[in-house]
Structure 1
Amino acid sequence: MAIIKNAARQTLGQLIGANNPPVEVPNDSQRQYAWGKREVDTYWADIQKFMRARRTGSQASSEYFIGPIVTITDDKITARSLLDGQQRLTTSTILIAAIRDTLGTMASTEARVMANNIQRDYIARRDGRHSRPQYFLTLSLFDRDFFKDYIQNWSESAGRIATTEQPSRPSHKLIQDAYSAFKGHISTALEEIYAEEDRLDWLDELADCLVKGLVFVEVQTPTSSDANEVFETINSRGKDLSTVDLVRNFLMEKSRDDEEKDRVNNAWRSLLDGFERREDIEKFLRHFWVARHGDVRSHSLYTTIRKDLTKRFETVAPRYEVRTFAAELQNASGRYIELITASTTVETLDTLLDEVKSLNADAAYPLLLAVSEKSPYAEMEQVTQALISYYVRWTVVGRRESTLLEEKLFDLAKQVSAGLSTDGVFDQITSWTPDDATFQADFEQAPIPRSTQARYLLSTIEQHLRRTAGVDDVVVAGATAVHVEHIYPQSPEPEFRLDDHTVWVNRLGNQTLLHGRKNRIASNKAYPEKVDAYSSSSLLITYDSGIERLWDAELGGWRARGIEERQADLAKIAVDVWPVGSRRDDGR
C-alpha cells in the first residue's frame, strides 16, 4: 500500500507561485501534454462559469475544486516532483501566459506592470538581469524546452520573446493550440468591454480567479513507488486514461539503473516523434502486444502488460530485461509506422497497404506487424493480398461478424510470433475466406452505405477494368480526384422516388464514380439531366458499366431492376478482383 505523507488543500497560486517550491515533472514518471480542443474549451467554460458565480460573493462560490494532484515531496518540502495533475497545471499556466501576453500588448503602463507581475509571481522569475530564470512549473524532457520557449519565457522590457524551438511532437502542437484557443477566448470576451480600465479589471479578475480560486488537493508521497501506486489508482478509475503513460511509468519503476531508464526514454521518444496522434500510439501499443500474445481489450491492456512483464522481469533464467522490452517496442514501432503509412519502399506492397488503409482494416495490422518481424517486406505481398480478400469477402461485402474475423487474425498473429511460417499464414487465411459462389451471391445483394467503402470497392474494380483493357490507370490514382455518385439519387424529386427507396439507394449497383467536385443539385436530378456527365466520363465503371439500365426511357422513371442487373455484373467482376488467396489478373 502506498504511503501518503500529507493531503493538503492548495490553490493554484500556492502550487506554482513564486513563494513556494517549484514543481517539476520527472523525466521517468509522466506523460506529455495531451489536452485537445474539447478539454481546453471545457476548462475555459468552467472558469467563466466560476467567475460569474464568484461575483455573487457567496461562500459556496468562492472556490472551484479542480481535482487531486500527486507529488513526491521531500521532508523539508523544498522540492516537488509531479506524478499526476500535469495536464491541469500545464493548461492553467498556458492560460496565465495568455493573460500576461494580452496585457503585454495593451498600451498603458499599468497593463505592462500587471503582465510583469504575473510573469514573476506565477510563471518564472530571475534573481538578476543576467541570471537564468527559475520556472515554477518544469515539464518532462519531451515538452520541457518547447514549453519554456513558447509559453514561459518573457522579457519585462519587450514582452513576449520570439520563439526559437520548433514544434516537433504532437504534444507541442497541442500546447500551441491551447494557447491560441485561450488568446482567442480572451479576445472575444474583451470585444464587449470598451473602456481600457474595464478591460484591465476583467483581466485582473480572471487572473485572480485562477491563482486564488482554483483549488487542488495535493497528495504528498515520500517515494516514486508510492507516488506511482497513487497515480495508477487514480488513473485506473473511470475511463482508460493513459495506457501508454502507465506502461512507461511501470518500465521506469522496474528499470535497474539509469542506463535502462535512458533506453526506455529513447523508445518513448521514438513513439512521440514517429506518430502524429496520441491515439495512434495507444493503438500501436495494443497491436504490438496482440501480435505477440493474442487478443487483449484496450481497457485491460495495462493490467495485462504489467502482470506479464513483472513475471518475466523477475524470472532469473532466461533473464528478460526492461531494456530488451524497450528495444523490441522501439523496433516494432518503426515497422508499424511504415505499415500504416504504406511507406515500406516496396511499391507493390505499399499499394496493397494503401488498400488496407482505405478499408480501415485495423484488425489486419497485428498480423502484418508479426509477419514483418519474421519476413522481409518483399515477401509479404501474397499474405497482404489474401488478407484484403478475406476482409472484403467476409466483412465489407459479406457483412459477417467482424469480431470473429478479428479474433481469428489476432490468434494467427500470435501463432506467427510463436513460429508459424508465412506460407502457413497464407493457407490459414485462404481457408477462412468465403468461396467464389458465396462471395458473388453476397455481392449481388450488398448495400454499401459507407462512402469510404463504396469508393474503395468501385475504385478497385475500376483499376481492374483498366488493367484488363490495357488502359492507363493514373486517372483514378488520387482518391480525392473522384467522388461516389448515387445514380438513382439519395434525395430524388418526389415524382421519381422509388418504392422501397431505402432498399435501393445504397446498393452498390446504384453507385459509381465521377471526377471533379460533386454537384449535389445535379446529383439529385433525374437520369436525363445527368447523362452527359456519365457519357463524358473517362472512368470505365461509369461510361461502360450499363448505367443506362437504371432509367426507363419509355416510362420516364427509375428501374429498381436495373440496379440489380448492374450489381450482378459488378459481382462477376468482383470475384476476380478479390480472389481467394492472391490476385491473378495483374501477373502477381
Structure 2
Amino acid sequence: MAIIKQAQRQTLGQLIGANNPVVTVPDDSQRQYAWTKKEVDVYWADIEKFMEARESGRESASEYFIGPVVTITGESVKGRSLLDGQQRLTTSTILIAAIRDILWGMKSPEGMSSANNIQRDYIARKSGRKDPMEYFLVLSLFDRDFFRDNIQDWSEVTGECPKVESPSRPSHKLILDAYSNFRVKILNRLQAYPDNETRLDYLDSLRECLINGLVFVEIQTPSSSDANEVFETINSRGKDLSTVDLVRNFLMEKSRSDHEKSRVNDAWRSLLDGFDRREEIEKFLRHFWVSKHGDVKSHSLYATIRKDLSGHFDKRPQIYGVGAFSAELEGAAGRYAELITASTGDVAFDTSLGEVKAMSADALYPLLLSASGNTSYAELQTLLDASISYYVRWTVVGRRESTLLEENLFSAAKELARGASLGGVITRILQWIPDDETFEADFREASIPKQSQARYLLARIEQYLRWQSDVHEEVVLGDGKVHVENIYPQKPAQELRLEDHDSWVSRLGNLTLLTGKRNPSISGLSFPEKAHLYGGSALLISSRTGIEELWDDKQSQWRVGGIEARQARLSEVALEVWPSGSRWA
C-alpha cells in the first residue's frame, strides 16, 4: 500500500506561485505535454462557466475543484516532484502567459505593470539582476527548454519570449497550439468590452479566478514508489494515452542504476522524435509487444507488460534487464517508423507498404516489425505481398470477422520472434488466403462504402489494366489526385432512383475513378450528362470497363444488371491483382 504523507487543498497560486516550493516534473517519471485542442477547449469552457458562477457571488461557486495532483515531497520541503497533474498545471501556466502577453500588448502603464507582476508571481523571476531565472514550474527534459523559450523566459523590456527553439516534437506543437488557442479565445472575449478599462477588469477577473479559484488536492508522498502506486491508481481510469507513460514510469522504477535510467530516456527520446503523433507511439508500443508475444488488447497492455517484465527484472541473477528491453524498444521504433511511413529505402517494398497504409491494414505491422528484426526489407517482399492478398481477400472484400485474421498474423509474428523460418510463415499465410472461387464470389457482391478502401481497390485495378494494355503514361493515383466516383449517383433525381438504392450505390461495379477533386454537382447527374467524363478519361478503369452498360438508353434509366456485369468483369482482374496461395507458386 502506498504511503501518503498528507492530502491538502491547494489553489493554483499555492502550487506554482512565488515563494512556494518549485514544482518539478522529474525526468524519470512523467510524460511530455499531451493536451490537444479538445482538452484545451474543455478546460477553457470550464473556466468560463466558473467565472460566470463566481461573479454571481454564490458561496458555492467561489472555488472550482480541478482534480488531484501527486507529488513526492521530502522532509525538507524545498521543492516538489510532480508525478501526476502536469497537463493541468502546464495548461494553466500557458493560459496565464497568454493573459500576461495580452496585458502587455495593450501598451497602457497599468496593463504592462500587471503583465510584469503576473510573470514574477506565477511564471518565473530573478531574485537579483545577475541571479539565474527561477521557474515555478519545471517540465521534464523532453519539453523543458522549449517551454522556457516560448512561455517562461519573458522579457519585461520587450514583452516577448525569445522563441529561438523551433518545435521538434509533437508536444512542442501542442504547447504552441494551446497558447494560440487561449490567446484567440481571450481576444474574442475582449471585443465585447468597449474600452481598455473594462478589458483590464475582465483580464484581472480571469487571472484572479485562475490563481485563487482553481483548487487542487495535493497528495504528498515520501518516495517515488509510493507516488507511482497512487499515480497508477488515479490513471487506471484515465485516457488510453497514459499507457505509454505508465510503461516509462515502470521502467524507471525498475532501473537499478543511473545508466539504466539514461537508457530508458534515450529510448523515449527516440519515440518522441520518431513519431508525429502520440497516438502513433501508443500504437507502436502495442504492436511492438504483439510482435514478440502475440495478441494483447490495448486496455490490458500495461498490466501485461508490467507482469511479464517484472518476472524478468526481479530475477536474481538478472539475465534480461531494463537496459536490454529499452534497447530493443528503441531499435524497433526506428523500423516501425519506416514501415508506417513507407520510407525503408526499398522502392518495391515501400510501394507495397503504401498499399498497407491506403487500406489502414494496421494488423500487418506487428508481423512486418517482427520479420524485419533479422531480415532485409527486400527479402520480406513475398511476405508483405502475401499478407496484402490475405487482408484484401479476407477483410476488405470478404468483410469477414477481422479477429481471426489478427490472431493468425499476430501468432505468426510471435513465431518469427521466437526463431521460426520466414519460409514456413509465408507458407502458412498462403494457406489462409481465401481461394479464387470464394474471392470471386465475394468480389461480385462487394459493397465498399469506405472511400479510402474503394480508392485503393480501384487504383490497384487501374495499375493492372495499364500494365496489361502496355500503357506507360504515368498517372498519379494518390489521395487527392483522383476521387472515387459513384456512377449511379448517391443522390439521384427522384424519378431515376433505383429500388433498394442503398444496396447498389456503393457496389464496386458502380464505382470508378476520375482525376481531380469530386464535383458534387456533376456526380449527381444522369449518365448522358456525364458520359464524356468516362469515355474521355485517361484512366482505363473509367474508359474501358463498360461503364456505359449501367445506363439504359431506350428506357432512360439506370440498370442494376449493368452494375452486376461490370463488377463481374472487375472481379476477373481482381483475381490477378490479389492472387490466392495456389497462384503464388
Interval of TM-score (by shorter of Structure 1 and Structure 2): over 0.9
Q: Distance in 1 between matches of 2:426 and 2:448?
A: 28
Query: Which residue number corresponds to residue 460 of structure 1?
Result: 460
Q: Deviations over 1:152-211 (max 9, x none)?
A: 111112111331111100000000000000000000000111111100010000000000
Query: Which residue number corresponds to residue 486 of structure 1?
Result: 486
Is 1:70 aligned with 2:61? no
Query: Which residue number corresponds to residue 393 of structure 2?
Result: 393
Query: Which residue number corresponds to residue 149 of structure 1?
Result: 149
Q: Deviations over 1:422-447 (max 9, x none)?
A: 11111111111100011001100101
The worse-fitting range, judged by mean Cα deviation, of 201-210 and 69-78 is 69-78
Is 1:203 aligned with 2:199? no
Contact 1:522 1:530 in 2 (8 A): yes
Contact 1:463 1:476 in 2 (8 A): no
Q: Distance in 1 between matches of 2:57 and 2:583?
A: 74
Contact 1:385 1:583 in 2 (8 A): no
Q: Deviations over 1:438-471 (max 9, x none)?
A: 1001100101111111100000000001111111
Q: Distance in 1 between matches of 2:266 and 2:147?
A: 20
Matched to 2:113, the amino acid is V
Query: Which residue number corresponds to residue 247 of structure 2?
Result: 247
Q: Distance in 2 between matches of 1:167 and 1:480?
A: 28
Q: Distance in 2 between matches of 1:290 and 1:213?
A: 46
Contact 1:390 1:430 in 2 (8 A): yes
Q: Deviations over 1:38-68 (max 9, x none)?
A: 1000000000000000011111000000000
Contact 1:370 1:417 in 2 (8 A): yes
Query: Which residue number corresponds to residue 311 of structure 1?
Result: 311
Q: Distance in 2 between matches of 1:110 and 1:308?
A: 60
Q: Distance in 1 between matches of 2:110 and 2:189?
A: 20
Q: Deviations over 1:472-518 (max 9, x none)?
A: 25213433211000000000011111111111111000000001221
Q: Distance in 1 between matches of 2:582 and 2:381?
A: 9
**Post-superposition shift, 1:338?**
0.5
Contact 1:23 1:82 in 2 (8 A): yes
Query: Which residue number corresponds to residue 44 of structure 1?
Result: 44
Query: Which residue number corresponds to residue 180 of structure 2?
Result: 180
**Post-superposition shift, 1:420?**
1.2
Query: Which residue number corresponds to residue 407 of structure 1?
Result: 407
Q: Distance in 2 between matches of 1:27 and 1:409?
A: 37
Contact 1:235 1:241 in 2 (8 A): no
Q: Distance in 1 between matches of 2:442 and 2:235?
A: 45
Q: How does 1:58-457 map to 2 (within 5 A)?
A: 58-316=58-316, 319-457=319-457
Query: Which residue number corresponds to residue 521 of structure 2?
Result: 521
Q: Distance in 2 between matches of 1:44 and 1:581?
A: 56
Q: Deviations over 1:330-370 (max 9, x none)?
A: 00000001011111111111000000110100011001101
Q: Distance in 2 between matches of 1:555 and 1:125?
A: 82
Where 2:448 maps in the other structure, the secondary structure is coil
Tell me: CA distance 1:33–1:583, structure 2 relative to 1, closer, same or farther (3 Å): farther
Contact 2:153 2:162 in 1 (8 A): no
Q: Distance in 2 between matches of 1:35 and 1:484?
A: 35
Query: Which residue number corresponds to residue 23 of structure 1?
Result: 23
**Post-superposition shift, 1:131?**
2.3
The worse-fitting range, judged by mean Cα deviation, of 472-481 and 187-196 is 472-481
Query: Which residue number corresponds to residue 502 of structure 1?
Result: 502
Paired residues in the alignment total 585
**Post-superposition shift, 1:560?**
0.5
The worse-fitting range, judged by mean Cα deviation, of 457-466 and 496-505 is 496-505
What's the Cα RMSD here? 1.2
**Post-superposition shift, 1:317?**
5.1
- The alignment-based identity, stated in percent, is 64
Q: Deviations over 1:535-580 (max 9, x none)?
A: 1100000000000000011111110000000000000110000002
Q: Distance in 2 between matches of 1:423 and 1:41?
A: 52
Query: Which residue number corresponds to residue 33 of structure 2?
Result: 33
Where 1:480 maps in the other structure, the secondary structure is coil
Q: Distance in 2 between matches of 1:237 and 1:477?
A: 44
Q: Distance in 1 between matches of 2:78 and 2:237?
A: 31
Q: Distance in 2 between matches of 1:32 and 1:286?
A: 19
Q: Distance in 1 between matches of 2:583 and 2:206?
A: 65
Matched to 1:571, the amino acid is S
Contact 1:104 1:160 in 2 (8 A): no
Matched to 1:359, the amino acid is M
Q: Distance in 2 between matches of 1:149 and 1:20?
A: 23
Q: Distance in 2 between matches of 1:450 and 1:234?
A: 38
Q: TM-score scaled by structure 1?
A: 0.98
Q: Distance in 2 between matches of 1:454 and 1:304?
A: 37
Tell me: CA distance 1:235–1:289, structure 2 relative to 1, closer, same or farther (3 Å): same
**Post-superposition shift, 1:237?**
2.5
**Post-superposition shift, 1:76?**
2.6
Where 1:530 maps in the other structure, the secondary structure is helix
Tell me: CA distance 1:238–1:140, structure 2 relative to 1, closer, same or farther (3 Å): closer
The worse-fitting range, judged by mean Cα deviation, of 256-265 and 123-132 is 123-132
Where 2:372 maps in the other structure, the secondary structure is helix
Q: Distance in 2 between matches of 1:386 and 1:318?
A: 40
**Post-superposition shift, 1:581?**
4.1
Tell me: CA distance 1:373–1:583, structure 2 relative to 1, closer, same or farther (3 Å): farther
The worse-fitting range, judged by mean Cα deviation, of 420-429 and 574-583 is 574-583
Matched to 1:310, the amino acid is S
Q: Distance in 2 between matches of 1:442 and 1:194?
A: 67
Tell me: CA distance 1:239–1:166, structure 2 relative to 1, closer, same or farther (3 Å): closer
Q: Deviations over 1:98-121 (max 9, x none)?
A: 000000101210000000000000
Q: Deviations over 1:198-238 (max 9, x none)?
A: 00010000000000000000000111111111111111135
The worse-fitting range, judged by mean Cα deviation, of 199-208 and 413-422 is 413-422
Matched to 1:150, the amino acid is N
